[in-house]
Structures are given as C-alpha cells and as structure tokens.
C-alpha cells in the first residue's frame, strides 16, 4: 500500500507546476510493479484506489479553492470535492489494473499495461463531458524531440511509447536481460536522430496585427461583487487605455467575463457602459472581451464579444463546452442541487459556431474562440483559414495553486496540434502568447497586473 501511495505522489510531481519527467516515469514503473505483486482482485482494487486517489488529491486539490471563495455557501460541498472527484477519476485506472490480474505473469504484460493506460486516458478525455487533463504524453512538451513526436503523431501515441519503453527497461533489468536493455537504449536514440533530420513544424504567421493582452489581476471575490463592479470596470479601462498607451494596437483583449455587466445584444445602443468603453477605442481598433450576455428568453451565456469604436458588437461567440456543476447542472431533472444552492445553469452556445470574424484596419481576421477550459480539448479543425486562436479564461477561482499552471500546459498541447498562435488571456494569470509549437513566447505570471504585447 505504501508503494501505491508513493507512486501516486510521484505521479503528481510529473506534471505542472513541477514537470519532473523522471518522477512521472518512476511513478508508472512503481505502480506497475505494485500491481504485478497483487495476488487477487481485492488487492488490485485497494492499491489502484490508493494510487489514483493519492495522485488526484495531490494534483487536483486546487478544485476546492473555488469553493472557498464563498465558503459560507459551499462549505458542505468541500468534503465531496476532496473525496468524490478523486475517487470517480480513479475508476479509470481499473481499466488498466483489473485485466493485469490475468496477465501479470506474462512476459508481455507491460505491453498490455501500456495499451490499457492509453485507453483509459482516451476514455477519460471523451466520456461524459470529458477531462483531458495531465495526459502522460504531455510530459515531453518542453523538449524539442517531444514536440516533434507530438506534432507528427498525437498525445496518446507518445503516451504509449513513454510507458512502453519505461516498462521495457524495467522488465529487462528485472529479468537480467541486459542485452535487451542496451537494444532499447539504441532504439530510444531514434527520436533524437529523427529530430536531427526533421524540422519541427513552424508555420509562418499569416497576419501582421499588433495585439495587446490585458491581465488585470482582480481578486475573485471582487469580480462578482455588485458593489465592486464599477471599480472593476474602471481598473480595466485604466490598465488598457490610461496607464498604457494602446493607440497603436489593432486588438485589445480582456479575459473571460472581464466586462462586468450583462449584455443584451438587442439593445446595445442603450447600454451606457459599452458605449463608454467604446469611446476609448480608436477608429478601426477593436476590443475583445469576455462577458455575460442574455437573450430575449432570459437565457444567459458565457460569451466572447468584439466591440468596435462605434459601440457596435461586430461578432460574438457563446461558450458551448460548459463546466459541469460550475456552469450547468448535468442530469438536473434528477439532481436537484439548485433547490439547495440556487445554482442555475447557463445556456449552451451554438455548437456549429467556433469562429469570430472581425475587420481591422489592416485585414479581415478569422479567429477560433475558446473560453476557459474549452482550450484543453482538441481544437476544432475547420476548413476555414483561421489566423489564430483566442483563449479567454479566469483562473482566479483557483488561487495561487497548481490549477492555472496545469491549465496553461493543457492549452499549450492543443496549440501544438492546432499549429497556430494562441493568445491566452487570464484574469489573474497565466496570460501567455503561445506559438504554433506549443512554446510560450511571452507570459505574465500569476497574480501580477500587466499587459502583454504582440507586434
């Protein structure tokens, strides 16, 4: 049991904010070794749960931070968040470990283990609402040869190779087949040779826009406080226009729900705060911001809007991949949590719309719109010639924790596969410009007020 616990802790150190690749690899080996020693299904179940719960509690404890912002309202949910979420996510590991009970004595058991691990990750990323978080293949995101493999294949294949080669070395050493170990080391050198003679895909930019990203670093307790809305609004204007001269920029981008007043698209002219904001924009200059909007049926959406200097919303996007229990209640006809907490549901955006089109002084722009954790899912590969992606988020819910670092890393993985620049704008961080190889060009750290310029 101690080995399963240690393996779970080590696994957590393999991902952001630590990113210790060796820890991730050692955790897989130790977990495999622990499961192979199990003699019956009960031992496998117990050790799998210890590994999974230890890892997820250590790695995802930041989820509780969002409940602490209004602890008087959500105190009763905290014990469930700490125990239930890790327990549910740990169930995916049974896909890996239970079959091993019947194959653990076989020489090829490590191959089965590797394949089942990747299958479990695929199911976790796609079943129900999906949660493609901390994928094992993503541990190579900071290495050029890893970027090349991720671009040429995908995160599941790289994950399989990672586990397969790690366990192959382990099995060879345990069986004292050193010749096999040396053979594998030679095989492992192939990616470096492959990288030497292959260039990582680096698509040239298809625009010459000047873009400014705004990170206001507003405490989460103020962003939803009615008494602070005017102060929040003025702070954003001050950072964007008064404190920093933004006249030369084509686009100014604010974070998710940064515009603090709900918007009615059918009555833009009479919304004084929007018109006031537009007065700071120069001709042909645009501001993109997250905002809550509502329609004639009183449906509320988590939206991205593009505002011009005339006070017109030239295009908008409504978030369509909502956070369960955060933005909507799944199975709400059976789960009546809203009667206890007054938690309502946002409406889902148009599933066929992901792109906004905006006209700047220089050119017509098409950009992929992603709000919050939509950025962790595979970007929709549309036929349109998209110039770049915009990811608006507010990780202020999770404080100074692992969460914002893990979120950024997941977006980097998708930027690499999308092969376009991603402008990620976060309320309290981490705001970043991510190139089409998944590398961070510039960033603003957590809890720092600032601007990030792309020219």
Same-domain check for residues 156 and 253: no
Q: Is residue 202 part of a domain?
A: no
Q: What is the pLDDT of residue 202?
A: 55
Q: Which residues contact 157 (CB under 8 A, 6 or more apart)?
A: 118, 137, 149
Q: Is residue 408 part of a domain?
A: yes
Number of H helices, E strands in the chain: 18, 13
Same-domain check for residues 178 and 224: no
CB 405 within 8 A of CB 445: no
Same-domain check for residues 221 and 86: no
Burial (CB count within 10 angstroms: exposed 0-12, middle 13-18, buried 19+), residue 139: buried
Q: Is residue 419 part of a domain?
A: yes
Enter the DSSP assignment of 242.
Answer: I
Residue 422 phi/psi, 5° resolution? -120, 125
Residue 288: CATH number of its domain = 3.60.110.10
Same-domain check for residues 92 and 228: no
Q: Which pTM was predicted?
A: 0.89
Same-domain check for residues 161 and 73: yes
Burial (CB count within 10 angstroms: exposed 0-12, middle 13-18, buried 19+), residue 336: exposed
Residue 288 pairs in a beta bridge with 253, 306
Extended beta strands in 6-62, E state: none
d(C-alpha 412, C-alpha 422), whole Å: 8
Q: What is the pLDDT of residue 332?
A: 58
Question: What residue ranges of the chain have pLDDT lower than 70?
Answer: 176-207, 269-270, 328-344, 379-384
Please measure the distance between the N-terminal and C-terminal CA atoms of the chain and give it in whole angstroms. 54
d(C-alpha 188, C-alpha 169), whole Å: 11
**Cα dihedral angle (354, 413, 9, 67), rounded to 10 degrees?**
-30
User: According to DSSP H, which parts of 153-294 are helical?
Assistant: 155-174, 178-188, 190-196, 220-223, 229-237, 272-278
Residue 217 pairs in a beta bridge with none
Q: Which residues contact 70 (CB under 8 A, 6 or more apart)?
A: none
Same-domain check for residues 82 and 158: yes
CB 432 within 8 A of CB 211: no
Q: What is the pLDDT of residue 335?
A: 54
Q: What is the pLDDT of residue 136?
A: 96
d(C-alpha 359, C-alpha 284), whole Å: 8
Please identify which residue in the block is written with the tokens 């590969």.
381
Plot region of 257 (φ>0 → left; ψ -120 to 50 → alpha; else → beta)? left
Nearest CA among 282, 291, 359 for reference residue 319: 291
Q: What is the pLDDT of residue 447?
A: 92
Q: Which helix H or strand E contains 212, and what residues bound it? A: strand 211-215
Residue 370 pairs in a beta bridge with 391
Same-domain check for residues 270 and 400: yes
Q: What is the CA angle 391-392-393, rounded to 5?
A: 115
Q: What is the CA angle 305-412-214, rounded to 5?
A: 40
Q: Which of 166, 196, 226 is the last residue of a domain?
A: 196
Residue 317 pairs in a beta bridge with 304
Same-domain check for residues 153 and 226: no
CA distances, 363 to each of 208, 230, 285, 369 (Å)? 9, 34, 12, 18
Q: What is the pLDDT of residues 358-416, one digit of tens each?
A: 888 777 889 999 999 888 887 655 556 788 999 999 988 888 899 999 999 999 998 88
Cβ neighbours, 10 Å, residue 37: 12
Same-domain check for residues 80 and 7: yes
Domains: count for the chain: 2
**Residue count of the chain:** 455
Q: Is residue 205 part of a domain?
A: no
Q: What is the pLDDT of residue 339?
A: 44
Q: Which residues contact 2 (CB under 8 A, 6 or more apart)?
A: none
Same-domain check for residues 99 and 217: no
Token code pair at residue 2 = 């101690």
Percent helix, percent strand, percent coil in the chain, to nearest 5: 50, 15, 35
Q: What is the pLDDT of residues 320-332, one digit of tens each?
A: 878 877 776 666 5
Same-domain check for residues 227 and 263: yes
Same-domain check for residues 26 and 133: yes
Token code pair at residue 407 = 């979120």
Range of the domain at 313: 211-454
Q: What is the pLDDT of residues 127-155, one digit of tens each?
A: 888 899 999 999 999 998 889 888 888 89
């Amino acid at each position: 049991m101690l080995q399963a616990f240690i393996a779970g802790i080590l696994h957590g150190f393999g991902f952001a904010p630590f990113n210790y690749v060796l820890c991730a690899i050692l955790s897989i080996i130790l977990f495999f070794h622990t499961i192979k020693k199990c003699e019956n299904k009960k031992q496998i179940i117990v050790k799998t749960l210890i590994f999974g719960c230890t890892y997820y509690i250590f790695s995802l404890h930041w989820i509780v931070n969002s409940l602490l912002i209004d602890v008087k309202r959500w105190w009763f949910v905290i014990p469930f968040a700490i125990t239930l979420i890790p327990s549910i996510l740990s169930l995916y590991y049974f896909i890996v470990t239970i079959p091993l009970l019947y194959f653990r004595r076989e020489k090829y058991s490590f191959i089965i283990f590797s394949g089942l691990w990747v299958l479990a990750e695929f199911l976790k990323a796609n079943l129900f609402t999906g949660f493609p978080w901390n994928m094992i293949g993503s541990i190579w995101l900071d290495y050029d040869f890893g970027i090349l493999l991720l671009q040429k294949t995908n995160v599941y294949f790289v994950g399989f190779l990672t586990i397969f080669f790690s366990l192959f070395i382990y099995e060879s050493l345990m069986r004292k087949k050193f010749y096999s170990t040396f053979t594998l080391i030679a095989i492992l050198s192939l990616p470096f040779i492959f990288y030497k003679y292959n260039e990582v895909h680096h698509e040239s930019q298809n625009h010459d826009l000047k873009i400014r990203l705004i990170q206001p670093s507003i405490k989460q307790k103020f962003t939803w406080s009615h008494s602070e809305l005017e102060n929040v609004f003025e702070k954003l204007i001050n950072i964007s226009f008064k404190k920093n001269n933004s006249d030369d920029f084509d686009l100014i981008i604010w974070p998710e729900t940064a515009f603090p007043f709900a918007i009615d698209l059918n009555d833009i002219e009479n919304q004084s705060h929007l018109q006031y904001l537009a007065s700071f924009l120069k001709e042909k200059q645009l501001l993109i911001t997250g905002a809550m909007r509502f329609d004639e049926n009183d449906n509320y959406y988590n939206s991205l809007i593009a505002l011009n200097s005339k006070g017109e919303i030239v295009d908008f996007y409504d978030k369509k991949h909502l956070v369960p229990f955060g933005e909507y209640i799944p199975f709400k006809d059976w789960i009546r949590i809203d009667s206890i907490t007054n938690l309502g549901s946002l409406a889902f955006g148009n599933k066929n719309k992901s792109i906004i089109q905006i006209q700047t002084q220089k050119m017509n722009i098409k950009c992929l719109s992603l709000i919050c954790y939509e950025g962790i899912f595979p970007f929709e590969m549309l036929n349109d010639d998209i110039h770049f992606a915009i990811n608006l988020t507010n990780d202020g819910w999770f404080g100074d924790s692992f969460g914002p670092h893990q979120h950024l890393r997941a977006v980097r993985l998708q930027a690499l596969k999308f092969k376009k620049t991603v402008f990620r704008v976060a309320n309290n961080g981490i705001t970043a410009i991510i190139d089409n190889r998944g590398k961070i060009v510039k960033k603003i750290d957590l809890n720092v007020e600032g601007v990030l310029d792309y020219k």
